[in-house]
Structure 1
Amino acid sequence: MQKQLIYIAVFAGFTTAVSAQKDDKDLGTEVVNVVKPYTPTLSDAFKVKEVPVIDDEETRAKETITYSIFSFPVASTFAPAKGKAAGVEAEQAEKTYKNYAALGFGNYAAVNGELYITENVGETGFVSGNLSHVSQNADIKDTELDSKFMDTRFGVLYGNTAETFDYKVDLGFRNQRYNWYGLPDFFGTSLTETQRETLISSIDPLQTYNEFELGGNLKTTSGIFNRGDARFTRFWDAFGSAENRFVFKPELSFDVAGVQLNTAFKVDYLSATFENAFPSEFPVTVAPGSNENANVILNASPSIKFAKDDFNVDLGVGITYLAESKNRLSGLDLETKSRFFLFPKIRASYRIVGDLMIAYAGAEGELRQNSYRDLVNLNPFLSPTLSLRPTENPLNFYGGLKGKLASTVSFNVRGSYSVEDNRPFFVANSYDVMQGNEPYLYGNSFSVAYDKLKTLSFYGELNADLSEAIRFGINGTFATYNTDTLDEAYNLPEIQLAGTIDFKFSSKWSGGSKVFFVGERTDIQADPEFISIGDEKKTLDSFFDVNAYLKYDHNKQLGAFLRLNNIANQSYQRWLNHPVTGFQVLLGATYKFDF
């Protein structure tokens, strides 16, 4: 606890030192969620960050956002009518470039590369392509197994904008390679040194994830159909695990007795197969078999919006139907269930003092699909032995205040209470020399445990434009957890703090820094020497990390950058037994161009 207080004091000092600058211009609200150590791509530091604007119409709770893995810069196809203002001399427009390339190299044999290409097709269409690669080709210090990683993405997109509608279609592929390098400290204690070295040399800890994605969206400005999104994802690994997911989300809007009714629909189908099951989950007399899950979630969320003076309210309800078609655990077919759910969808806001102070509150709920892909994106060291089930979130109640302390300083404070049933927790797998020789059976991987979780949390953020050249932001989350059957809310920190600052030194030089703190977490892992006593709790220390960047624009096309990550060179563990990479330096160049 003393260590955490020291970290928080340092963090507060950083905040105080920066906040003494002069305020000059408006800044909106920005939310930063720290869920893992900062591992940016090349584009993160150099793309202009938009200033968020406070939503006067309605205020939403902080939502869990599912990101598509393929993102493209969209070329404008708007062609304004030619005209000439009498007596006004037209200024020459600044030259912009549609295409972008970046390449950087660093210690740990790191390679970061990115290429975006966008071209217009006809008067209203465009096509985009994206290729990115991030890799670390040297091992982390003091790891006995291979700890390299690689992440490569490729995608293409076509879009078209007409007078009353626009649509986009995209296709992409992603390949990730990670290693289960986190051997527990008690690994091989019952073996001789020679036996231990022989065993380690025989382990190939490589896991490969592949993803294929095809999707699109359509937006209209006439009729009752507002928009529709459809996406198919195929995700699979090197150990016979695979899942298919299809999501379709249309939105309609129409008048009923003079009142506008908005209705969002969602179809979410998931089918997953895991050829392996973790042996320790079952009696020794049962041979492990495959795990299979398949279900579809159907949802309709009608809502009505009211607005009067400074008061806004959105009243709605979520009507959800879950139908399970497959529930196989270790080769045994279990009962499948189908049931209905009703969830509140209520949001309200009141402008107490115009835009200077806005009170907001809400009560919402949902049935959330848990996919193998989404879980791997949170923790790539999972064993390919999972059983998937959706999470029921019957209530997420929140309320808070947001607004402006000055013309250039914005704030947001919020309290929330949430209940989740079948909430997934990452738990370290145990190690037993009798379990087998699969590379994830040495206490170096994680499984998913499900339990009911009640969370009481408080969140606050402050953002400011300290001058024309300095932007600053800080946020923090403090939470308490209560579980039903698990002893702890494993791998969930009670404290998270984050801060960012960006500088514009001149027309050619810019830079910035990101700082974050994550509090202690608890995991659990069985030591084979203490099986009769039970699983042993493990405490993961809190950590404090600092990252920085420096960018130089030689001209409108050519630039260079320097990236520094984990400046404090801490060997902390984001996941049990998996230390992160130490101090990292990345040097590279960027180039903007047209064909």
Structure 2
Amino acid sequence: MNLKIQKISILLFLFSGLSVFSQIKEEQLILDKKREPEVKKIEKKKTSVESIKNYPPEEKSQNPVEYSITNVPALSDFQTSTLQADDISPNLKTDYYSNYVRFGMGNYGKILGDANVSYTLENKLEVGADAHINANHGLQNIYAWDSRQTSLKAGAFLNGYGEKGKYNVTADFGQENYNYYGIYALNPASDVDINQKVNAFRVKGSYDHFSNEYLNNITFKSSFLSDRFGAKENKGALDFNFSKHDLELPLNDVKMNADLGLGLETQSTDFEILNTNSSSYFLGNLSPKVTFIKDKSYLTIGSGFTYLSTNESNLSLDRKANKTYWFPKAELQLAKSDELKFYAGVDGGLSLNSYASMLEKNLYIVSDQRVTPTETKYNVYLGIRGDVDELIKYDVSIGHSKVNDILFYQTNNLFDTSIAAIRNAYDFANTFSAIYDNGTKNEVNASLQYFPRENFNVSGSFHYINYKMENFDNIYNVPTFSAELGAEYTLLNKKLLLGFKGFMASTMVTNLYDVTNTGLSTNYTTTEQLNTKFGGYVDFNLSAEYKIHKNFSIFAIGNNLIGGNYSTLQGYQVLGAQILGGLKVSF
């Protein structure tokens, strides 16, 4: 009888997803894959899996604690290439196996290879490797030219556990091999060369002290990026966090935490085409703060001091500058219980944009960008959050910011308007460039997690954002509204995992170019159209994994199941309905 009920539950779950989202017509563009569990603003206390990286909170106390490595499978929340939506990675939790190899195939020539292996030595030193490859042959029935794409990543990691803290070192290499296929203004031959290739090598490490006795943690990051057109970018960052927590004060039940952050960051970016933009930055951060805590309420007061050294140049610019910034940092939370907490605060900061971070947002930018920091002068926010009987977790907030050098992307015109030109891969009005403007930003954010049963959870989020800028009427390629809905359901004695993710975004605004050939001139005539609306989508994805043996599972993933043929960037249509299936071996 129980088996029959479970089968009926499966059908109802799938049918409800199909009926609720029957009007879905679009698909979201996700640019990068995440190899680690995504940390949400709200987390489930008892049902979340404690991973090696996120050790239990009590290990941050001053009391001696015995530490052991929990054998938990690594979460491979892989995502497909930029032609596809977010793959839900089914991952059945097990107490027995931490290593796996996975292989899958699907339509559009999709090939997936995924593996994560690790081994723990006698001295609690864990070594491991991680590899991922994802490829497809693109939209062969829509574009005459090549739209195939391949993404690969391979890395190794080391985790060490000592008496006073733990450390991690990770090194990886990634490559994106793809085409600037979003050609809307011209009609080139099928054998046109529109290929781009980006290589990135990264090393990062951290040491996390188990107690906040003066030293909290140390992290460092280093990376090198290059592409087919000679772009090079080097980045390095070193951060120290010092703290002294649970200081007694001569006030009833009030304690104080003192924290000091110190950060150093360098970045150098050079391009070899078009305007040959070049930039180098050195940034130093000092962030002191004190927090007064009573029960579930607290008051944090701090500041951010930033020193920035700038050196920029291109064909028409040579600028050097040094500047010091101050940013406010404060937050107040008033709470009598876990169910309802009011909070408000103000913060700000200076963030270094980079060619690497731009590619994460827009893979189709041309290999010559002006790279400059974005300054959030202040961000004022307030909201409510809470945990209702550990069944419902929510967080709703509104915010207002004053921002200088807001980064967004506009479409490029032809760089060479000659009709007889032998065109480069990026010169078909098929790329984007970063632009900046000053202005204000208003936001509304809401997130919710619901845990009705141990084997069933639902999550959702909503984001509204509105910009008012000095020089542009609209921000390009950014939706005003976006939302996400997800669910996971484990049944049949944890042998079957079903997953669902739905995405929605409002229409966006962009610029584009009309390119005409009158036949009376040796050059194309181009006309820019401003504030053109496009996009807007709702889509859903389903996944399933079934354990047929203690070491073997089969999985299936469906993306854009309605088959919406929309674009999330001008000219770049996503794949239609996609089905991928395969085998996973755990050991």
TM-score range, shorter chain: 0.7 to 0.9
Looking at structure 1, the residues matched to 423 and 269 of structure 2 have their Cα atoms a distance apart, in angstroms, of 24
Structure 2 segments unaligned to the other structure (5+ residues): 1-14, 21-25, 46-50, 56-65, 70-93, 250-255, 517-523
Following superposition of structure 1 onto structure 2, how do residues 259-408 of structure 1 map, counting pairs within 5 Å? 260-277=257-274, 289-324=275-310, 326-330=311-315, 332-352=316-336, 354-404=337-387, 407-408=390-391
* Structure 2 match to 1:556: 550
Looking at structure 1, the residues matched to 126 and 327 of structure 2 have their Cα atoms a distance apart, in angstroms, of 40
Looking at structure 2, the residues matched to 212 and 40 of structure 1 have their Cα atoms a distance apart, in angstroms, of 15
Deviation of the 1:430 alpha carbon:
1.2
- The residue identity in structure 2 corresponding to 1:479 is I
Deviation of the 1:532 alpha carbon:
7.9
Looking at structure 2, the residues matched to 418 and 451 of structure 1 have their Cα atoms a distance apart, in angstroms, of 14
Q: Does 1:522 pair with 2:509?
A: yes
Q: Contact between 2:31 and 2:362, CA under 8 Å: does it hold in 1?
A: no
2:192 pairs with 203, 209, 229, which one? 203
* Structure 2 match to 1:246: 236
Q: Contact between 2:513 and 2:529, CA under 8 Å: does it hold in 1?
A: yes
| Deviation digits for residues 415-440 of structure 1 (CA, Å, limit 9, x no counterpart) | 11122211111111113532761111
Looking at structure 1, the residues matched to 283 and 490 of structure 2 have their Cα atoms a distance apart, in angstroms, of 48
Secondary structure, counterpart of 1:239 in structure 2: coil
* Structure 1 match to 2:491: 505
Q: Does 1:565 pair with 2:559?
A: yes
Q: Contact between 1:232 and 1:245, CA under 8 Å: does it hold in 2?
A: yes
Looking at structure 2, the residues matched to 261 and 475 of structure 1 have their Cα atoms a distance apart, in angstroms, of 33
Q: Contact between 2:328 and 2:347, CA under 8 Å: does it hold in 1?
A: yes
Secondary structure, counterpart of 1:374 in structure 2: helix
Q: Does 1:458 pair with 2:477?
A: no
Q: Contact between 1:75 and 1:119, CA under 8 Å: does it hold in 2?
A: no
Deviation of the 1:533 alpha carbon:
6.1
* Structure 2 match to 1:218: 207
| Deviation digits for residues 133-172 of structure 1 (CA, Å, limit 9, x no counterpart) | 1111243541232111111111111121110122122211
Secondary structure, counterpart of 2:478 in structure 1: coil
| Identity rate, percent | 21
Deviation of the 1:216 alpha carbon:
1.0
Q: Does 1:155 pair with 2:155?
A: yes
Secondary structure, counterpart of 1:493 in structure 2: coil
1:488 pairs with 471, 474, 478, which one? 474
Deviation of the 1:542 alpha carbon:
0.8
Looking at structure 2, the residues matched to 296 and 407 of structure 1 have their Cα atoms a distance apart, in angstroms, of 45
- The residue identity in structure 1 corresponding to 2:344 is A
The farther-off stretch of 173-182 and 430-439 is: 430-439
Looking at structure 2, the residues matched to 564 and 514 of structure 1 have their Cα atoms a distance apart, in angstroms, of 10
Q: Contact between 2:31 and 2:363, CA under 8 Å: does it hold in 1?
A: no
Secondary structure, counterpart of 1:364 in structure 2: strand
- What is the CA RMSD across the aligned residues, in angstroms? 3.1
Q: Does 1:591 pair with 2:585?
A: yes
Looking at structure 1, the residues matched to 291 and 54 of structure 2 have their Cα atoms a distance apart, in angstroms, of 34
* CA gap 1:373/1:156 in 2 versus in 1, 3 angstroms: same
Deviation of the 1:250 alpha carbon:
0.8
Following superposition of structure 1 onto structure 2, how do residues 435-446 of structure 1 map, counting pairs within 5 Å? 437-446=423-432
Looking at structure 1, the residues matched to 357 and 289 of structure 2 have their Cα atoms a distance apart, in angstroms, of 28
Q: Contact between 2:27 and 2:538, CA under 8 Å: does it hold in 1?
A: no
Deviation of the 1:487 alpha carbon:
2.5
* CA gap 1:42/1:415 in 2 versus in 1, 3 angstroms: closer
- The residue identity in structure 2 corresponding to 1:445 is T
Deviation of the 1:225 alpha carbon:
2.2
* CA gap 1:139/1:358 in 2 versus in 1, 3 angstroms: same
Q: Contact between 1:512 and 1:549, CA under 8 Å: does it hold in 2?
A: yes
- The residue identity in structure 1 corresponding to 2:99 is N
Deviation of the 1:407 alpha carbon:
5.0
* CA gap 1:49/1:75 in 2 versus in 1, 3 angstroms: closer
* Structure 1 match to 2:48: none
Looking at structure 1, the residues matched to 490 and 331 of structure 2 have their Cα atoms a distance apart, in angstroms, of 38
Looking at structure 2, the residues matched to 319 and 42 of structure 1 have their Cα atoms a distance apart, in angstroms, of 31
Deviation of the 1:75 alpha carbon:
12
Looking at structure 1, the residues matched to 264 and 317 of structure 2 have their Cα atoms a distance apart, in angstroms, of 25
The farther-off stretch of 213-222 and 478-487 is: 213-222
* CA gap 1:38/1:506 in 2 versus in 1, 3 angstroms: farther
Looking at structure 1, the residues matched to 41 and 371 of structure 2 have their Cα atoms a distance apart, in angstroms, of 38
* Structure 2 match to 1:231: 221
Looking at structure 1, the residues matched to 388 and 220 of structure 2 have their Cα atoms a distance apart, in angstroms, of 42
Looking at structure 2, the residues matched to 484 and 492 of structure 1 have their Cα atoms a distance apart, in angstroms, of 17
Count how many residue pairs are aligned between Structure 1 and Structure 2: 510
* CA gap 1:407/1:170 in 2 versus in 1, 3 angstroms: closer
| Deviation digits for residues 342-401 of structure 1 (CA, Å, limit 9, x no counterpart) | 01121221114x011111111110100101111101111111011100100111111111
Deviation of the 1:301 alpha carbon:
0.2
- The residue identity in structure 1 corresponding to 2:357 is D
* Structure 2 match to 1:187: 186
Looking at structure 1, the residues matched to 372 and 33 of structure 2 have their Cα atoms a distance apart, in angstroms, of 32
Looking at structure 1, the residues matched to 176 and 344 of structure 2 have their Cα atoms a distance apart, in angstroms, of 40
* CA gap 1:249/1:394 in 2 versus in 1, 3 angstroms: same
Following superposition of structure 1 onto structure 2, how do residues 106-185 of structure 1 map, counting pairs within 5 Å? 106-184=106-184
- The residue identity in structure 1 corresponding to 2:106 is G
Looking at structure 1, the residues matched to 475 and 408 of structure 2 have their Cα atoms a distance apart, in angstroms, of 7
Looking at structure 2, the residues matched to 109 and 375 of structure 1 have their Cα atoms a distance apart, in angstroms, of 28
Q: Contact between 2:513 and 2:527, CA under 8 Å: does it hold in 1?
A: no
* CA gap 1:515/1:38 in 2 versus in 1, 3 angstroms: farther
Deviation of the 1:14 alpha carbon:
7.2
Q: Contact between 2:504 and 2:539, CA under 8 Å: does it hold in 1?
A: yes
Q: Contact between 2:28 and 2:503, CA under 8 Å: does it hold in 1?
A: no
- The residue identity in structure 1 corresponding to 2:436 is Y
Looking at structure 1, the residues matched to 34 and 306 of structure 2 have their Cα atoms a distance apart, in angstroms, of 40
Secondary structure, counterpart of 2:450 in structure 1: strand
- The residue identity in structure 1 corresponding to 2:331 is R
| Deviation digits for residues 463-494 of structure 1 (CA, Å, limit 9, x no counterpart) | 21233432112221122221111221111111
Q: Contact between 1:78 and 1:124, CA under 8 Å: does it hold in 2?
A: no
The normalised TM-score by structure 1 is: 0.79
* CA gap 1:49/1:453 in 2 versus in 1, 3 angstroms: closer
Deviation of the 1:318 alpha carbon:
0.3
Q: Contact between 1:42 and 1:102, CA under 8 Å: does it hold in 2?
A: no
* Structure 2 match to 1:6: none
* CA gap 1:102/1:274 in 2 versus in 1, 3 angstroms: same
* Structure 1 match to 2:412: 429
Secondary structure, counterpart of 2:139 in structure 1: coil
- The residue identity in structure 2 corresponding to 1:510 is L
- The residue identity in structure 2 corresponding to 1:315 is I
Looking at structure 2, the residues matched to 42 and 110 of structure 1 have their Cα atoms a distance apart, in angstroms, of 19
Secondary structure, counterpart of 1:375 in structure 2: helix
Secondary structure, counterpart of 1:147 in structure 2: coil
Q: Contact between 1:430 and 1:527, CA under 8 Å: does it hold in 2?
A: no
